């Protein structure tokens, strides 16, 4: 079988070109793709995996990046060097016990381990922040300097000035786990040394976590994707698992298997024709970014006026659908139905014609979709996180759930809640990181603000938690396995300016494998081991109904002078006088054995430690699909939700209270109902200012954020380019492949254009995570979207609206 690599990574719109997911992820497909990658076709049985004295040995490792999946890698080693990489090919591959096959990124791990960008030694900055000029220092000097700085900053400002920045590069590890910050070894180290300023929320899901939690109480769950085998209709909002949940263990595999069994129809709502649509969809509904709430309101209008709503469900389980179930504190006519029918406060009827103008979706399509969703049961409504990584993402996330509520699909097989896919996992005892004595916590997105104006930041204006306001600005940043100092945080040029002031944030320590753009802003760089150079337990991420975990064993010796995070923290603990408390007398292997022993004590059916090391991956078949809120559905009195009312809150009293008490700008909306509200840099704004195009971002198969971004083979297979509709391109004289400039008041980048009808006119799109490559004139040539994004946070979560941007585009050069 000969498969073209480009077709693997770029499934065609054409149904004939459609590839089944198992082919996409099959080892055979990748190894015969005619790559120059070090892939081979040799089959290695699990039983032969034991370390042997032979020239070649095969060791189980893993890919632990934050892509929403988690994959075992089988590293083929000769004379201490990784020669090639393959993946899980054990068992008979029946669905439910299927092979967890890595995607092409994981399979190129060798190219990250031996990358020319690899950090080799501890280094100290000698140029300006960002210049990338460093000198080599010893580990002892690095530890001594860092410990001295921690001690000084603690004394001058207190522990609240020491911040653990967001970083998800090793999210999947146990010892190496980099996020949440409180789960990392740095947290353990700092907690033994007086604590640190924490953050809450994440760049992934801040808005949905803050928004949809008011509907369902706590983190909103959804059915496992395997349960799609019971669905008749699937509606995906801003969700692209074919790129964002790749691999044999990921959501896309369960999604494909489930859909194949049920033959459910599929509607994809997205400004882009995604790879998930890619021939699988029955209908693609392109939509203007940030306008889903209007589309949903209009569908609600159709469902209400055509009697398609599940009134008994809404009466029994929900608060505030109509006036009957409004809480006492709510004003008259403040229910959802009144809002839709135009008898509420704004007196606007949310008709399909009204929504059509806002969303760009023709009214007849809105009507047809509403009828289909309203009359096809069970219907699974699922949202990705693209829709909520926007300026009003909190509200948008709540709006999507309305479709599941209006149709009574919550808590049943084949239905769902409208949240992101759920799944099951195997409970695993985590590294104990101890209690943080510092109670203050900031929204993760506002760390740059906390450097500039920390003491001005309050609970009601900036969402500070744990106290009413911050007392000190951030003075020290730990940045472990993260590229959010620059590449992944919004408005790179603003961040650059903030970090130029060495009296503001006084110390930045970056712990990474590669010389990233963030590392270039470090005062001290510490080179970490890759997963291949150490042992760790690695947990699955979104595993449908087949949870698993991986024992990644050390494959090769540490490269250069790199040290593991465990040894780095131990070295620092010694300087800070807390070594014994930190290690408890164990080394990394000792901790792995200890944590696994505790895990096995709670679940003796798990294999023993050495057996686990040998078999690499442990999978568990779960018979039943996970159905979110099933207990609540079956008996709401006995199993109330954790919302204030115990019910599903369409009208949230808590949000009404926050809307009253929080300090908001005029154009910021917190509302008890999921109402449509225009936002800054939204579609309405595009009609007024200098920037007529909405720029939306997406997570790209070429990389996991920025990780793997320096593997040239992957860059070639799925190049960085900006999507633009032929209508927008024509007016600007742009043809496919031409070099263009994308710009707004915050920045400018130059990149090739992909002229394609796969995107709605008026909207352009760029994959996030490309490596920032400035030319000294503030123009980026790497295609890093964050030179264009804003640091203005969303109203409720104070989260990153990184998919909400206005830009213009011009031709630079013809190809
Ligand atoms: N504009 C825009 N920006 C975005 C997003 C967007 O959609 N649009 N998405 C946001 C989201 S959802 C997220 S989660 C963030 C992700 O942002 P980050 O968490 O910063 O993710 P990465 O860019 O992958 O950076 C991970 C870093 O970890 C390093 N790393 C990998 N493996 C190891 C290891 O073993 N040890 C160490 N020490 N380091 C390692 C990598 O080299 C890399 O520098 O980006 C956010 N930024
Ligand atoms: N290959 C790969 N996989 C990844 C990652 C990666 O970087 N690379 N990152 C991982 C991480 S940390 C995360 S958080 C997830 C991110 O997962 P998501 O947030 O779900 O992924 P995105 O690609 O940002 O957004 C999904 C889709 O939303 C669409 N979209 C954007 N704005 C709107 C809107 O207003 N309305 C609608 N209806 N659609 C909209 C985008 O076009 C995109 O196709 O992916 C994970 N998986
Ligand atoms: S990037 Fe994700 S899907 Fe690809 S190999 Fe790594 S864990 Fe698996
Ligand atoms: Mo994320």
205 close to ligand 1 (CB < 6 Angstrom) = no
Q: Are residues 792 and 805 in the same domain?
A: yes
Is 86 part of a structural domain of the chain?
Answer: no
Confidence band, pLDDT 50/70/90 cuts, at residue 42: very low
Q: Specify the ligand 1 atom closest to the Cα of 488.
A: 47
Q: Tell me the CA–centroid distance for residue 247 and ligand 3, in Å.
A: 6
Ligand 4 ion: nearby residues, β-carbon < 5 Å: 204
In angstroms, the CA 396 to CA 803 distance is 13
* Distance of CA 123 from the midpoint of ligand 2 (Å): 35
Residue 32 has pLDDT above 70, yes or no: no
Give the per-residue pLDDT at 31.
28
Q: What's the rounded Cα separation, in Å, for the pair 272 and 286?
A: 6
Is residue 758 lining ligand 2, measured as CB closer than 6 Å? no
pLDDT in tens, 169-214: 999 999 999 999 999 999 999 999 999 999 999 999 999 999 999 9
CATH code, domain carrying 701: 2.40.40.20
Q: Is 199 or 248 the better-scoring residue by pLDDT?
A: 199
Q: Is the CB of 173 under 6 A from ligand 1?
A: no
Cis peptide before 499 (omega within 30 of 0): no
Q: How far is the CA of 74 from the centre of ligand 1 (A)?
A: 24
Instruction: Name the phi and psi angles at 6, rounded to 5.
Output: -60, -35
Nearest to 293 by CA among 385, 382, 399, 390: 399
Mutate to test the pocket of ligand 2, among 290, 540, 699 (most ligand atoms within 8 A of CB): 699
Q: Is residue 671 part of a domain?
A: no
Instruction: Report which of 45, 48, 120, 111 is spatially closest to residue 83, judged by C-alpha positions.
Output: 111
Q: Are residues 338 and 280 in the same domain?
A: yes
The answer to whether 177 and 431 have CB atoms below 8 angstroms apart is yes
Q: How far is the CA of 701 from the centre of ligand 3 (A)?
A: 10
Is 575 within the bounds of a domain?
A: yes
Tokens of 679: 């936002």
> What's the CA-to-centroid distance between 803 and ligand 2, angstroms?
9
Q: CATH code at 651? A: 3.40.228.10
Å from CA of 632 to ligand 1 middle: 37
Model pLDDT, residue 19? 27
CATH of residue 150's domain is 3.40.50.740
Is 811 in a helix, a strand, or coil?
A: strand
> What span, in angstroms and rounded, lies between the C-alpha atoms of 586 and 592?
9
Whether 22 has a pLDDT exceeding 70, the answer reads no
Q: Is the predicted pLDDT of residue 590 greater than 60, yes or no?
A: yes
Q: Is residue 165 within 6 Å of ligand 1 at its C-beta?
A: no
Provide the whole-model pTM. Answer: 0.94
Q: Are residues 465 and 377 in the same domain?
A: no
Ramachandran sector of residue 336 (left: φ over 0; alpha: ψ -120 to 50; beta: rest):
alpha
Supply 550's token pair.
Answer: 């991986």
Ligand 2 pocket check for 270: Cβ under 6 Å: yes
**Residue 75 domain-assigned?**
no
The answer to whether residues 216 and 196 belong to one domain is: no
Cα–Cα distance for residue pair 163/170, rounded to 1 Å: 18
Q: 642: domain range?
A: 207-419+629-661
Q: What's the pLDDT at 266? A: 98
Question: Which of 70, 493, 769, 785, when mutated, tests ligand 1's pocket best, judged by the most ligand atoms within 8 Å of its CB?
Answer: 769
- According to the model, what pLDDT value does residue 542 have? 64
Does the beta carbon of 287 lie inside 6 Å of ligand 2? yes
| 504 and 571 belong to one structural domain | yes
Distance from CA of residue 137 to its chain's centroid? 35
* The pLDDT value given to residue 621: 87
Tens digits of residue pLDDT in 80-112:
999 999 999 988 899 988 999 999 999 999 999
Q: Of 67, 244, 681, which is best to mutate to test ligand 2, by the most ligand atoms within 8 angstroms of its C-beta?
A: 244
Is the CB of 71 within 6 Å of ligand 3?
yes
Residue-wise pLDDT tens digits, 631-689 = 999 999 999 999 999 999 999 999 999 999 999 999 999 999 999 999 999 999 999 98
Pocket test for ligand 1, best of 272, 768, 770 (most atoms within 8 A of CB): 768
Q: Are residues 251 and 326 in the same domain?
A: yes
- Tell me what pLDDT residue 41 has: 33
Count: domains in the chain: 3
pLDDT-based confidence at residue 713 (cuts at 50, 70, 90): very high
3-state secondary structure 23-61: HHHCHHHHHCCCCCCCCCCCCCCHHHCCCCCCCEEEEEE
Give the position, in ligand 1's atom list, of the atom nearest the Cα of 386.
7
> CA of 462: how far to CAs of 52, 208, 407, 499, 794, in Å?
57, 18, 36, 21, 10
Residue with tokens 């469900």: 313
Which atom of ligand 2 is found nearest the CA of 385? Answer: 19
pLDDT digits 0-9 by tens, 406-454: 999 999 999 999 999 998 889 999 999 999 999 999 999 999 999 999 9
Asked if 419 and 208 count as a contact pair (C-beta separation under 8 A), the reply is yes
377 found inside a domain: yes
Rounded CA separation 446/163 (Å) = 12
- My answer on whether 329 and 451 are in the same domain is no
Interval between CA 703 and ligand 1 midpoint (Å): 10
For residue 204 and ligand 2, the question of a CB distance below 6 A is answered with yes
Q: Is the CB of 67 under 6 A from ligand 3?
A: yes
Query: Is 68 part of a structural domain of the chain?
Result: no
What are the tens digits of pLDDT across the range 343-394? 999 999 999 999 999 999 999 999 999 999 999 999 999 999 999 999 999 9
Ligand lying closest to the C-alpha of residue 166:
1
**How high is the mean pLDDT of the chain?**
93
Q: In terms of domains, do 446 and 377 share one?
A: no
Residues 332 and 230 in one domain: yes
Q: Within a domain: residue 136?
A: yes
Residues 376 and 471 in one domain: no
Q: Of 37, 62, 106, 240, which is best to mutate to test ligand 3, by the most ligand atoms within 8 angstroms of its C-beta? A: 106
- The rounded distance, in Å, linking the Cα atoms of 386 and 205 is 9
Distance CA 669, CA 549 (A): 42
Strands across the sheet containing 134-136? 134-136, 123-125, 524-527, 507-512, 476-480, 162-164
pLDDT of residue 376: 98
Binding site membership of 728 for ligand 1 (Cβ less than 6 Å): no
| CA of residue 277 to ligand 4 center, whole Å | 21
Same domain assignment for residues 322 and 464: no
Residues 318 and 389 in one domain: yes
| 41 assigned to some structural domain | no
Q: In the prediction, which pLDDT does 55 show?
A: 74
Å from CA of 390 to ligand 2 middle: 11
């Amino acid at each position: 079988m000969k498969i073209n690599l480009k077709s693997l990574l770029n499934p065609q719109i054409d149904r004939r070109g459609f590839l089944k997911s198992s082919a996409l992820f099959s080892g055979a497909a990748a190894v015969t793709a005619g790559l120059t990658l070090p892939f081979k076709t040799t089959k290695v049985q699990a039983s032969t995996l034991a370390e042997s004295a032979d020239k070649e040995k095969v060791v189980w490792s893993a890919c632990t990046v934050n892509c929403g999946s988690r994959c075992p890698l089988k590293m083929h080693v000769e004379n201490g060097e990784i020669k090639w990489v393959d993946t899980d090919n054990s068992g008979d591959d029946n669905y439910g016990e299927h092979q967890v096959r890595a995607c092409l990124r994981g399979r190129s791990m060798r190219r990250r381990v031996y990358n020319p960008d690899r950090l080799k030694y501890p280094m100290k900055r000698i140029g300006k922040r960002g210049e990338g000029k460093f000198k080599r220092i010893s580990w002892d000097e690095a530890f001594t300097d860092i410990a001295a700085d921690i001690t000084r900053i603690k004394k001058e400002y207190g522990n609240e000035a020491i911040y653990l920045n967001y970083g998800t590069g090793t999210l999947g590890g146990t010892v190496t786990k980099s996020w949440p910050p409180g789960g990392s070894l740095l947290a353990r180290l700092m907690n033994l040394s007086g604590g640190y300023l924490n953050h809450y929320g994440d760049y992934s899901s801040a808005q949905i976590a803050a928004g949809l939690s008011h509907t369902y109480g706590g983190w909103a769950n959804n059915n496992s994707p395997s349960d799609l085998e019971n669905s008749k209709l699937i509606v995906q909002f801003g969700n692209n698992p074919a790129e964002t949940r790749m691999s044999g263990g990921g959501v896309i595999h369960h999604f494909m298997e489930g859909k194949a069994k049920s033959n459910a129809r599929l509607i994809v709502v997205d400004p882009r024709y995604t790879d998930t649509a890619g021939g699988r969809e029955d209908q693609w509904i392109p939509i203007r970014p940030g306008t889903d709430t209007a589309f949903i309101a209009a569908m609600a209008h159709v469902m209400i006026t055509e009697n398609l709503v599940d009134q008994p469900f809404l009466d029994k389980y929900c608060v505030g659908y109509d006036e009957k179930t409004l809480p006492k504190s709510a004003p008259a006519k403040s229910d959802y139905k009144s809002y839709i029918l135009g008898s509420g406060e704004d007196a606007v009827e949310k008709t399909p014609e009204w929504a059509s103008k806002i969303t760009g979706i023709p009214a007849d399509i809105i009507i047809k979709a509403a009828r289909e969703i309203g009359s096809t049961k069970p219907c699974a409504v699922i949202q990705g996180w693209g829709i909520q990584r926007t300026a009003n993402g909190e509200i948008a996330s709540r709006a999507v759930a309305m479709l599941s509520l209006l149709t009574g699909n919550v808590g049943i097989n084949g239905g769902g809640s409208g949240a992101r896919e759920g799944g099951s996992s195997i409970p695993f005892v985590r590294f104990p990181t101890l209690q943080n004595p510092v109670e203050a916590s900031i929204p993760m997105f506002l760390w740059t603000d906390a450097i500039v104006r920390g003491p001005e930041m309050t609970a009601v204006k900036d969402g500070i938690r744990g106290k009413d306001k911050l007392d000190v600005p951030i003075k020290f940043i730990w940045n472990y396995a993260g590229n959010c100092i620059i590449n992944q945080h919004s408005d790179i040029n603003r961040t650059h300016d903030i970090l130029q002031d060495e009296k503001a944030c006084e110390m930045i320590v970056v712990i990474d494998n590669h010389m990233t753009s963030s590392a270039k802003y470090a005062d001290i760089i510490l080179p970490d081991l890759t997963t291949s150079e150490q042992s760790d337990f690695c947990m699955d991420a979104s595993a449908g109904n087949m949870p698993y975990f991986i024992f990644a064993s050390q494959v090769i010796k540490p490269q250069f002078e790199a040290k593991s995070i465990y040894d780095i923290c131990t070295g620092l603990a010694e300087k800070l006088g807390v070594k014994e408390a930190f290690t408890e007398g164990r080394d990394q292997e000792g901790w792995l054995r200890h944590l696994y022993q505790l895990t096995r004590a709670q679940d003796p059916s798990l294999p023993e430690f050495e057996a686990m090391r040998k078999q690499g991956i442990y999978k568990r078949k779960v018979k039943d699909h996970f159905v979110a809120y099933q207990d609540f559905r079956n008996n709401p009195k006995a199993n109330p939700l954790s919302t204030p009312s115990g019910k599903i809150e369409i009208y949230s009293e808590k949000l009404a209270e926050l809307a009253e008490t929080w300090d908001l700008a005029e154009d910021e909306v917190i509302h008890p109902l999921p109402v449509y509200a225009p936002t800054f840099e939204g579609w309405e704004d595009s009609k007024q200012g200098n920037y007529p195009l909405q720029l939306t971002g997406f997570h790209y198969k070429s990389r996991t954020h920025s990780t793997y971004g320096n593997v040239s083979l992957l860059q070639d297979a799925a190049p960085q380019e900006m999507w633009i509709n032929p209508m927008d391109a024509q007016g600007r004289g742009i043809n496919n492949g031409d070099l263009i400039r994308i710009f707004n008041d915050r920045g400018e980048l130059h990149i090739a254009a992909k002229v394609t009808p796969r995107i709605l006119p008026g909207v352009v799109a760029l994959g996030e995570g490309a490596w920032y490559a400035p030319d000294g004139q503030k123009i980026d040539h790497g295609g890093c979207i964050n030179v264009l994004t804003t640091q203005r946070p969303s109203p409720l979560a104070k989260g990153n609206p990184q998919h909400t941007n206005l830009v213009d585009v011009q031709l630079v050069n013809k190809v």
